[in-house]
Structure 1
Amino acid sequence: MTTADWALLISLFSLLIAMASFIWNVWQKFIFPKPRVRVTFMLMRIVGSDPPHRLLTLNFTNFGPGEIVIDCAVARPRTPWYKRRTRLGLLNPIANLAQPDEPTGPYAGGLPKKLAVGEEHILYFPYVAEMFMREPLACIGVHDSFRRTHWAPRGDFRKVVEQHRKDFPILNDNGAPT
């Protein structure tokens, strides 16, 4: 092969790569765009309540492009990396803030919720001793209509877990915290 043949071969290969990237960009941006969702998880206190009443909040915002439907709130247990996609647990949000200690099921709290671009929704969870925070969880998030899971930042989740352990320590048989 001559130098001209090698140049032609490399040029054709470059053209194929350029066409593939163009088709991928058109597909991703215009044909099948998937919205981005930002999720936050925190412990909040209701101001002015006596005694102070606290709730866990899972806040999610659609950053677009396009609408999205959030189906449910999920948690992932601490598992090895090869089992992470297969093991999720559904969380039960509060349906009525007037009775915050009574979760009614995984589709309470206005779920499934259709969100336009820029719209947000908040799910509330009771903050009590016996709840999902006692489980060995790795993270918490929401599941959308594109079958994707959007997770809250791990730092947010760790702060809430540490505060729950301070507020509700696990006691051993002698009554001392473990």
Structure 2
Amino acid sequence: MLISIFVTGWTVYRDVIQKPRFRVTTSVKHVYQQHQALIGPDFWVEALNMGPSPNRVGLVFARPSWFNRKFRKAKSAFIAHDHTHLGSTAKGQRVEVGDSVGFVFPLRGEFLSGNFAQMGVADGFGRIHWASGKSFRAAAADARKHLPPAPETLVQTLG
């Protein structure tokens, strides 16, 4: 009797209460293909479904640091990915446990110039899973290395 109550409770917890989790990472990557031109570098946001059940993943968001959100009233932002890129995943795709999805952003610097501290993806339940701030800062610093110099920086170096 005690075992059946435990099994029933665990089943309810697993199927009703516990929601799927995603591990989100950010990085700068190239795409190499044999006998084709190099693609990239591009900014990638990837989400790995950690379970316990399949889920849908849709939109990418960015948010400023905790201090800026609380005291400076800085807002979060939706960031549209490049859906035509070879490595991009379609929005709303069902992701099985253990599978990952990737969202690719060209390095033009619009979202990198914002005062964002984290990027994350929204799942089918509306919950946003955030990449660590450390991961985002490292990827953003790497992305800035690949950006062309700003026009005012060019004038200063030439003058």
- Aligned residue pairs total 145
Q: 1:115 to 1:82 in 2, by over 3 A?
A: same
2:79 is aligned with 1:91: yes
2:105 is aligned with 1:125: yes
Q: Does the CA-based 8 Å contact 1:57-1:122 persist in structure 2? A: yes
SS at match of 2:144: helix
Separation of aligned partners in 2, 1:50 and 1:152:
30
Per-residue displacement from partner, 1:20-68 (whole Å, max 9, x unpaired)? xx9xx75543432201111111000233666773111111111111121
Structure 2, unmatched stretches of 5+, are 1-5
In the alignment, what sits opposite 1:71? Answer: 58
SS at match of 2:138: helix
Structure 1, unmatched stretches of 5+, are 1-21, 101-107
- Within 5 A, what are the aligned runs for 1:105-120? 109-120=89-100
Select the residue among 8, 13, 32 that pairs with 1:47: 32
Separation of aligned partners in 2, 1:41 and 1:77:
16
How much does 1:133 deviate?
0.8
Instruction: State the one-letter code of the partner of 1:55.
Output: D
How much does 1:173 deviate?
7.4
Separation of aligned partners in 2, 1:109 and 1:139:
20
Percent sequence identity is: 23
SS at match of 1:54: strand
In the alignment, what sits opposite 1:18? Answer: none
Q: 1:131 to 1:109 in 2, by over 3 A?
A: farther
How much does 1:160 deviate?
1.8
Q: TM-score, normalization: structure 2?
A: 0.73
Q: Does the CA-based 8 Å contact 1:68-1:114 persist in structure 2? A: yes
Q: Does the CA-based 8 Å contact 1:41-1:57 persist in structure 2? A: yes
Q: 1:30 to 1:46 in 2, by over 3 A?
A: closer
SS at match of 1:118: coil
Q: 1:28 to 1:51 in 2, by over 3 A?
A: closer
Say which one has the larger Rg: 1
Q: Does the CA-based 8 Å contact 2:30-2:38 persist in structure 1? A: no
Q: TM-score, normalization: structure 1?
A: 0.66
SS at match of 1:176: helix
2:145 is aligned with 1:166: yes
How much does 1:156 deviate?
1.8
Select the residue among 136, 150, 153 that pairs with 2:132: 153
Q: Does the CA-based 8 Å contact 2:41-2:146 persist in structure 1? A: no
